Structure 1
Amino acid sequence: MQAHAFAFVFSAVSLLYSLSASAAALLPNDTDALLQFRSQTDAHGILLANWTTGNACSASWRGVRCIHGRVTALILPSLDLRGPVDSLARLDQLRLLDLHGNRLNGTLLPLTRCSNLKLLYLAGNDFSGEVPADIGSLKRLLRLDLSDNNLRGPIPRQILNLTRLLTIRLQNNVLAGQLPDLSAALPELRELNLTNNEFYGRVPFGLLKKFGSRSVAGNEGLCGPNPLPVCSFLDAPPAAASAQTVVQSNPSSLPTSTVAGPAGKEEESRKGLSTGSIVAIVVANSVVLLVIASFAVAYYCGRNSGDNGSSSSSKGRRRSSSNSGDKKMYLNDVRGRGGDSDSTTTTNRSKLVFFDRRKQFELEDLLRASAEMLGKGSLGTVYKAVLEDGCTVAVKRLKDANPCARKEFEQYMDLVGKLRHPNLVHLRAYYYAKEEKLLVYDYLSNGSLYSLLHANRGPGRIPLDWTTRISLVLGAARGLARIHEEYSGLKIPHGNVKSSNVLLDKNGVACISDFGLALLLSPVHAMARLGGYSAPEQGETKRLSQKADVYSFGVLLLEVLTGRLPLQYRSPIRARGAEEEQGVDLPKWVRSVVRDEWTAEVFDPELLRYKNIEEEMMAMLHVGLACVAEKAEKRPTMSEVAKMIEDIRVEQSPSPLGEDLDESRYSLSPSVATTEDNLASY
């Protein structure tokens, strides 16, 4: 009897073991999926170097987060990954996927199998094809960012099924078709950006009311209430027609005839127009022809008069404008100064050279733009130019680069223009002539780190809080690290790292500007523009270098911590009885104060208002001092600097000491894609 019982128990245990083994075998293998992704996107195995041993969840793989042994988040932004994402379709427990700023390609269809996705950030890649209709199966999706890719076709109507969506970013693609009423179907939607695509037709009223015309700017085929172009009947087919007609993706294929009218009128339309209608049409056509002729005569006369007297009149306008303090940009003399001796044809001289297909325009459009001078920098004058279609760009007129030959200039611009990163200002186009060189950038609307640190110091100033300073410094470090990594073989530096070249976009994200422009100058001229950011060895070598960039960044970091200009020598040492030092640059001053154990005097008084940040400030100070090591070989790389800052970064500024303040007034902190939502809270 006991033998039979033992045999039964043994059989049951064996059966359970077999069932559990079978169940384990059926479980998706997230590690295998990630290894396949690595083999497809990291050909040299450098970017994801620690994805080699152990389990993806237990071995702390870069960018991988897990819950209960399953991969729930994959965060790998701006790593230059290249290839498809098909293998990620097996990660069925994935909640967060952040791959923005890479060079991933292929279609998005495989990702629609990740049915638990909540946060999807794929901006700044090279995905193509259409937004798949199966995206409607991602019922839990909250944030969708597919901007800055090469997506085509219409917005699938299945996207209206994603009723939990808070964010849709589809800007800077080649999407087309008519817009669905996203505002009506998606009540939770807070942010919508459809700019710079090829949508056409009438914009739904609810969408415009909730998000404004800026959300659809840069789509020339759209119409609606002011400021959009007025719609014709072709822009919004009657309901009866739309129910029977499939709208094509090309606006030229829209129906050109009216739909049959109400009963009783159809027969009349077949017989012909009434006499009154014919007379009205003839009169209207005559008026239109007269208006067109008047405009043509006025344009021709104005053009001739401008040609005959442009020299004196344009000089007079510029002189009076300068005397009155007006900051308008006058670029009409670009054509006149475009004479070239390096075999440049007239056609080539009159063209802007763009680096992508997004929102291109002609030189004439730029010359007609209303513009405002933003300032004069060490490499040229910068203007804010608003084109006639409302597109805003920043234009830099270079100085001291005129002797640069066309071939050399184009080589430098090719290096600069093809580099993409969320923390680099995007160079959109350039114009070359022997006596005139223009660079066209994305316009960043929130000024510079320099102005945030130093403008309006004193009573009533809104201070720059600790979290924002760290966020901006980290963004600048990442952008600079991207430059150094991309051109590590050629050892190409930025060459002009300073707080005035750290700009903020509309979301408060820091972007490095002026990359590569110092290469157009002689090293002596380039270093003269660095001022207090120049590394010690540059006085002897007269060369720009990546190690010198690290030193300049260290000065910038000390500037952020102290609130002092790099060449501001006033020292608190005098207050404790010692003689004030004269002619000491910022790194030397900081070293002297730290050496004398008066470290607290280093930090910006605006930072001392905040509590419980002493440890973070000291850690940042050590990073800055490491960057400004006098011997170049002892300085860390920019990738190492960015990693050190990431490790000490704080998520939220503490409250100022002894004050009950609305911290929203004091913070300009950017929303970071991977931290804007707390994954565990959903």
Structure 2
Amino acid sequence: MYRNLIMQISFMKFPTVILVTFVLAFLFSASTTEAGNATSDRLALQSFKASADLLEKLLSWTGNNPCSGLWQGVKCESGRVRHLVLEGLQLSGPITKLSQLDELRILSLDNNMLNGSLPNFSSLKYMKSLYLSHNQFSGPIPDSISLLSRLRRLDLSKNFLSGSIPPSLNLTSELLTLKLEDNQLTGPLPNLKLIKLQDFNVSGNQLTGPIPSSLSNFSISSFQGNNELCGVPLLVCDTSQPTNPDLSGDQNPMVVSSSPSLKPAASEKKKGPVRLGTGALIAIVVGDIAVVVLITCFFILYYWKKYNQSDASARAKRKADPEKLVFNAVNYPLHAESDKGKLVFMDGRKQFELEDLLRASAEMLGKGTFGTAYKAVLEDGSVVAVKRLKDMSIAGRKEFEQQMELIGKLRHPNLVCLRAYYYAREEKLLVYDYLPSGNLYTLLHGNRGPGRTPLDWTTRVKIALGAARGLAFIHHQCKPQKLPHGNIKSSNVLLDKNGNACISDFGLVLMASSSVVASRLIGYRAPEHLESKKISQKADVYSFGVLLLEILTGKAPAQSYAREEGVDLPKWVQSVVQEEWTAEVFDLELLRYKNIEEEMVAMLQIAMACVSQAPEQRPRMSQVVKMIEGIIGEQHSPQRDDSFDCISMSPSVSEGTSH
């Protein structure tokens, strides 16, 4: 190739010859540099293998091309090593040679026997994830880590690292994970102001002094095992201990207060301790006991008398008014006959009267987009959920009844079924079966602190598939009218006693004013809704895509109220994926599970297809169901669109966190 180019150059004019020669030289130099870099990667890996793989676990590392796809744990791009994952292979020795892999993005060497000091990481300027836990590294944490400006995950836990935690870690502003537990680190905690930090742990070290306010929002488990560490969330630091020149210099003045009596009084600084006689001590103890007994007797008499009075009043009131309205949360008048209203059951079988419902003891479960939900316990012990509608734009009884008939006909294992309804001029009630098993929003975002039971990947996929099937059924049954659900969000995905996902609130959006719908669906609203203000089945697909992103990321979508936290999930995920680091989008709680990366990426691709900006580019829900089934290798269930048996469930649970 170069010979032909040289022959052509000989026939060119002199200035052109110079230009072409310069370009050829540049291309030749670039190709030579690239080849040299690839060779450097190979030599670094071979050198590391020679010193660390004494048990010959890396038998696949043969040949001269680590990017052939055959080298275990090595992934490349453009001929350069980008990922190196060698976990649990009993590797030993130092890792200094690996610092020459200057294009490395991920380095994971967990659960080995690697030792020595941590190397200078300054050459790994593209590093995003560094996992070195469960090894035998010793010495200090190098300051060179602070030069890794793109670093997001740092796990140095369960080693023998010593010295202090470098304050220069503040320079790693993109850090999401910092795990340093179970080492031998000493000194105070630096004031780390890493605003993106989500996973932090320094437990099981020898750290001392107060916990900086910038780290106090993490749980107790993040700091336990450091006996000299104090401050929120641990015990309060005692700063009142006086400085005494007679004390030995190695005593730490920053101690945790265990009793107020340990704090010296002002008079004690001037005088010696006052000794009390035995008789005085006995008199003080007896006096204290007598006072406590008298106060206790007084409160017992007071509350006994008050209880008797209130109980008598309640009995008298029940006797005078046997039709007492216990269902006072709804505050509905018993004189319903004036409104000519009645309780209509969808299957035609009357199970209880309206008066039974109104006399039931009620508990408000929450306020949602279309009204307030209550748990009502009837006198026979059965439990139902009642939704009291509000902000409905529907005109009259006939239109309302037609809408209820449409909703009531939809029966599917993944839909919440309407059992009965009540219509009056000033009051509209919907009755559903009660389901106490919770909703997806609570499972994903509730109690993210200590003691939380994470939502595992298998359960998340099962919920996603169930919700997809329910929504696909709605779209299929309402295909002639092209009726959408219009309110797809995680708080409207409920779980039955077997953990099956069921969609609630179908059809209610068709009776609500457009302003209500627009104001409550910010995080899930399709982009075309901003202009047309209309809901559609394609907009449902977009909302379901946001729901999938919520399941994958563990992040709540942006909501309509300023006080609520949340992100624009489609935009955030797209920005992360464009940086060629797809794994960053996934929920930290999912990272503990092995061998699910491919399934998560496949689910992410489905979600991104659903949230396409152009509605015509979004798949149909029936296609989404097939794609999710393909991920888990599940065949179509025999009870699908032709099933009309409704699993017992309730929309009430969904309202606790509805926005």
TM-score normalised by structure 1 residue count: 0.44
Bigger RCO of structures 1 and 2 (CA < 8 A, at least 6 apart)? 2
TM-score normalised by structure 2 residue count: 0.46
Bigger CA radius of gyration: 2
